[in-house]
Chain A
Amino acid sequence: MRINISRTKIETEFVKKVEELSGQNLLACYQCGKCSAGCPAVSEMDILPNQIIRYAQLGLKDELLASKSIWVCATCLTCNSRCPKGINIAEVLEALRQILLRKRRDYVGPAELSEEEIGEVPPIALISSLRKFTS
Chain B
Amino acid sequence: MKVSYYPGCTLKNNAKNFEDSALSSLARLGVEVEELPRWNCCGTVFSLAADDTFHQLAPIRILVRARENGSDALLTLCAMCYNTLKRANARVAGDPDEMDKINQFMYREDTQYEGDVRVLHLLELLRNDIGFEDLSAKVVKSLRNLEVASYYGCMLVRPREIGFDDVENPTVLDDLAEALGAEAVDFPFKTECCAAYQTVTDIGAVADRTNQIMGSARVRGAEVIVVSCPLCAFNLDHRQKETVEKYPEFKGLPVLYFTQLLALALGAPVDDLGLDLHYVDPKPLLEEKRLI
Interchain CB contact under 8 A, A122 and B197: no
Residues of chain A within 8 A (CB-CB) of B196 are 74-76, 125, 128
Task: Pick from A76, A125, A127, A131: contact of B199, CB below 8 A.
Answer: A125
Residues of chain A within 8 A (CB-CB) of B154 are 75-78
Distance in Å: Cβ of B113 to nearest Cβ of chain A: 22
A94-B48, A122-B14, A124-B78 as given contacts; A74 in contact with B9, CB under 8 Å:
no
Task: Pick from A74, A90, A123: contact of B48, CB below 8 A.
Answer: A90
Distance in Å: Cβ of A74 to nearest Cβ of chain B: 4
Question: B134-156 toward A: CB 8 Å interface, digit per residue (1/0)?
Answer: 00000000000000000000100
Interchain CB contact under 8 A, A22 and B197: no
Closest to B234 in A: A122
Asked whether any CB of chain A lies closer than 8 Å to the CB of B120, the reply is: no
Residues of chain B within 8 A (CB-CB) of A131 are 43-45, 55
Distance in Å: Cβ of A82 to nearest Cβ of chain B: 8
Interchain CB contact under 8 A, B159 and A80: yes
Asked whether any CB of chain A lies closer than 8 Å to the CB of B198, the reply is: yes
Distance in Å: Cβ of A73 to nearest Cβ of chain B: 9
Task: Pick from A20, A23, A80, A113: contact of B200, CB below 8 A.
Answer: A113
Distance in Å: Cβ of B245 to nearest Cβ of chain A: 14
Asked whether any CB of chain B lies closer than 8 Å to the CB of A117, the reply is: yes
Distance in Å: Cβ of B163 to nearest Cβ of chain A: 9
Asked whether any CB of chain A lies closer than 8 Å to the CB of B41, the reply is: yes
Distance in Å: Cβ of B92 to nearest Cβ of chain A: 15
Question: B180-216 toward A: CB 8 Å interface, digit per residue (1/0)?
Answer: 0000000000011101111111100100110000000
Asked whether any CB of chain B lies closer than 8 Å to the CB of A21, the reply is: yes
Distance in Å: Cβ of A7 to nearest Cβ of chain B: 26
Interchain CB contact under 8 A, A128 and B45: yes
Distance in Å: Cβ of A24 to nearest Cβ of chain B: 9
Asked whether any CB of chain B lies closer than 8 Å to the CB of A12, the reply is: no
Interchain CB contact under 8 A, A77 and B158: yes
Residues of chain B within 8 A (CB-CB) of A123 are 9-10, 13-14, 41
Closest to B213 in A: A40
A122-B15, A125-B234, A128-B80 as given contacts; A75 in contact with B45, CB under 8 Å:
yes
Residues of chain B within 8 A (CB-CB) of A122 are 10, 13-15, 230-231, 234
Q: What 5 A-B pairs come out closest when comparing CB atoms?
A: A76-B193, A122-B14, A23-B50, A128-B197, A129-B200
Q: List 29 A-B contacts (CB under 8 A).
A: A20-B51, A21-B50, A21-B51, A22-B50, A41-B195, A72-B205, A75-B48, A75-B196, A77-B158, A78-B154, A78-B158, A78-B191, A78-B192, A80-B159, A81-B159, A81-B167, A81-B168, A88-B48, A90-B48, A94-B48, A108-B200, A121-B234, A122-B14, A123-B14, A123-B41, A124-B78, A124-B231, A128-B196, A132-B197
